[in-house]
Structure 1
């Protein structure tokens, strides 16, 4: 959707569905105790049968997705075969694309009036919050210079640096040493393998907007199952490189 917006100059709008799971209709029989403050004094030991979903139910996410998907189908949308969270609607000569992630929505299209019409239709059936132009979504920060769209993850980088306790680290100019090959052993095993996997996983997510670290991240990914101190030194070098290039991204 970012590519479509950048190519055709379409506006990206962001919406949020308030209390999304509470909109879901339950098809299973689920009962709950009477909540404190709402106990029927004449039937204090009775339970309540749920008509709609609640947060915490195992079927709540699926029920919400089914509810929202069915409503989109009534508006003329079809779900993408490649990505079930992406929906496409063709109206006359206009195209509208909608992306759903839990209760967060991105919507764009060739005719902004049609996009606005669909937003209004969604707002009539769901309690929606219109966040306006898309600026932040799942760790991606979006800016709109005159020549296109700029995507970066500087806030996410700061979060990863804080997680690795490297906010005050000294930056370096390359993400990996040009003449150093990582080996399967040769040093002590890293003391916190779960931490290693967590940081490397975060670095993998950063490659979406930072292709310049892809090779270095690929190298450290090879040791997720058995990491050594030398491997974590390589991870820290990537983080030091990111510290000095936080403003980099994709234009």
Structure 2
């Protein structure tokens, strides 16, 4: 079904399908195309309203009877590493960071396949081939980087993050790493390093994607100080993740689609010149 604001873009809703995070529930997404000369402005504006990018599409959860899936970000100024995170940063401090243009390589794909086969063999991306992987990395109409982490001695690629550069932060679109190094906590390390990059660049936030309180797959995001979640039209600081479970599955948690679309703020396509 199509939903249209007074000016472009147009918004659509996906058909319900099984939720990958909460058993027995169905997910649905609200989405729009990301294209044209205003793509950067649209991406910045909708990212600040809980949307995420996947290639040239921006989407946000819009489930009928569940609001458990929340867009999450870290307020860089409020972040303080805990003892475990300090150990993780020290353990991986030898890794060499390389920030490149969004271009897919065979080495990236090999690491990506090992990661999926070990960690997400039954996930929605499990069948992604090399051409689809290249599309995920390269089909971006906005400012993106591939941030690689490699062993300085062996030159072996250890971890990768596809990262968008927003006006107010870094958005970690998708990341993957060597599944044979669970003791290294590479997923956590990449987030810690992105917090450092954002701080050095003067950017206030690191966007982590979606977080589902109560989902074991998402639990690591709740361990970061300064965590914020986009709820009912605003970003809220999360002090106790357990408090969110009480309202997440209430039947009135999600507004009708028409109300959701009407509440979306679009960027000014013709800004006034000073």
- The bucket for the TM-score relative to the shorter chain is under 0.3
Q: Which has the higher contact order (CA 8 A, sep 6+)?
A: 2
User: Higher helix fraction: Structure 1 or Structure 2?
Assistant: 1
User: Higher strand fraction: Structure 1 or Structure 2?
Assistant: 2
